[in-house]
Structure 1
Amino acid sequence: MKKIALFLLSSLLMTQLAIAAPGAHGPNGEHLDSSGDGHEIADAAPRTETFTENFELVAKLYSTELSVLVDDYKTNAPVLNATLQLQVADLTSQAIFHEDAGDFAFDEAALLDLLQKPGKHELIFTVTTPTQSDQLRATLNSSGAVEEHVEHGHPHHDDHEHDGHGHIEELFHSPYAWLALALVLGVLVLVVQRIRGRASNAVSRKI
């Protein structure tokens, strides 16, 4: 029983460490960052992510375009039948949708020149679908160096299936998932110990 107690105690300690670790998620897998502000992601190309209760958006700046992925926040399903607009400073642009890649792209020269200047750029996205419309704000930190966007793959598989948001990775980062796993393992250990104890008592009685 002492071993079981130690095992459960260590599992709980690991759970506490997971809660305190950077990049942790809330009890429902939500981002702990406040919605609407967006946060930067370390990457070779300037990149930012933001979300509201309706949508999640990831934008990545290339030399020839700003590529944007939009997902339904609750289901993590890609949003394809939408209109996407972007406002940066006094510039407003409409995205082109790439059906083969499932992403939206802004390729206007004036917009790209502005975004590729070193510094932080405030982005205001407006997503409009047949059933709803929402505004998402994000900050893109540009260093002035961007990658070539050679071809469109299917970026939803590369960037989002976080986790299938995506949410599988969030599950692994959730402290509640690890706590549940620890409790299940603890129960299994108790069951095995009881079965062994009963088997041992049965053998002793026969002897």
Structure 2
Amino acid sequence: MRARPISPENLVEELAQRLGVLANRTRVRVAIDGPAAAHPERLADALVTPLRLLGLPVLRVSAQDFLRPASLRFERGREDPDSFYEDWLDVDGLRREVLDPAGARGSGRVLPSLWNSETDRATRADYVSLPPRGVVLLDGELLLAHGLPFDFAVHLWLSPAALARQTPSTDAWTLPAHSRYLAEAKPLDSADLVVRWDNPAHPALIHP
């Protein structure tokens, strides 16, 4: 793989411009995918203002607010990597409440959050209306493993050594799930844009 170094500021600018072109006539559903150690939420947050300066309505959504109830997530134990990979994300809820209505032919009526995993209760959030040319920015882990309908996907890739080094010891049990994700979902091939993220201050765009 070839990599082109890019500054964080230029990465945000280039990505915002690409998304602006996609959102010229329709809504756009964007996945900012990466392990927790890559903090994909930070890149998603950084894109909000540049997109709004382009005149695009933006809705920030986090996969963390679409996890399944604890009784389902922890059915096979609290530190089971296969369960983390297969069972934690409420795929149906995310599709039903966000991605389908935010699609080009959807209603535009989107629920920004569904479940608070800390209180293990519904968030009771209000629905919002996403107008034409609106952009949904969704951050999360393992997002490309479930066949969800994204219009553009960014994958923040950490080398195995960097991922192991930057993952807190309390979360080391998730590392096999990320290895499985690379092997089965192949985000390096399926994402529209792959960014090497070993050092967030010095990212690089990866080209096959």
TM over 0.5: no
Instruction: Using structure 2 for the length normalisation, give the TM-score.
Output: 0.27
Whichever structure has more helix as a proportion of its residues is 2
Instruction: Using structure 1 for the length normalisation, give the TM-score.
Output: 0.27
Larger radius of gyration: 1
Of structures 1 and 2, the one scoring higher in RCO (CA 8 A, sep 6+) is: 2
